[in-house]
Structure 1
């Protein structure tokens, strides 16, 4: 079970990215049931020391207000929210918030595949 923070009218958490033996914690990630796909700020690719591969995809997504962003979609070894982990999940890396207040969004791809339960009263997420 992982605690969520309710701030600025949104649910925030931390996520752990693991790839090729390296691990990074990303704080200030929004749990976003309105996002179809998980996206993390591209700065974290440097922390994971992940290069670009032929299997990576360039994708476009539209954010709040219809702003279109480009991102690179990469398959990571593992993405975890405390005890809730998924292996071999594709994550988008790109710009999310031009004001840099948000480091990522956990989207429905992760939430549905991991079958998590979001407890809004207790502000927790678990599976």
Structure 2
């Protein structure tokens, strides 16, 4: 799948499904420094994602300090031809211009290759 590079960030488009509702999200940041895939709650509101009593909550630590997140399981996350089912993602506040971060939990699990010469993101099985 094609990546976009704006001179600072690598981004791509993903599709996700939550409780049968599908959403395509452009400009998701490909973040090899993030251990988890994270989405802004504002973006996921469109498919009905909200905090529910009993959702796991934890704190993440990074350059910007500490942020609280809760966890949800998506029916699937689709990246080009790869459809990862029952994927756990984090939902928490990100900088306003960030819709989400595609983290190592997906990138490493599925063996994604970041091809900087061709600005492509792919797995050997789904190229």
Residues 1-57 of structure 1: per-residue CA shift (max 9 Å, x gap): x10001142211111111221101112211011100000111133211134445521
CA distance in 2, matches of 1:125, 1:27: 14
What is the aligned partner in structure 2 of residue 115 from structure 1?
Answer: 111
Counterpart CA distance in 1 for 2:99 and 2:25 is: 7
Equivalences for residues 17-36 of structure 1 within 5 A: 17-36=16-35
Partner of residue 91, structure 1? 89
Aligned residues: 123
Task: Provide the residue aligned with 2:76 in structure 1.
Answer: 78
SS in structure 1 at match of 2:44: helix
Unaligned regions of 5+ residues in structure 2, if any?
none
Q: Over aligned residues, Cα RMSD in angstroms? A: 1.5
Counterpart in the other structure of 1:57: 56
Structure 2 counterpart SS, 1:110: helix
The alignment partner of 1:113 has SS state of: coil
Unaligned runs of 5+ in 1: none
TM-score (norm. length: structure 1)? 0.88
Alignment partners' CA distance in 2, 1:84 and 1:55: 30
Q: Using the TM superposition, name which of 105-114 and 6-15 deviates more.
A: 6-15
Aligned residues of 2:55 and 2:70 also touching (Cα < 8 A): yes
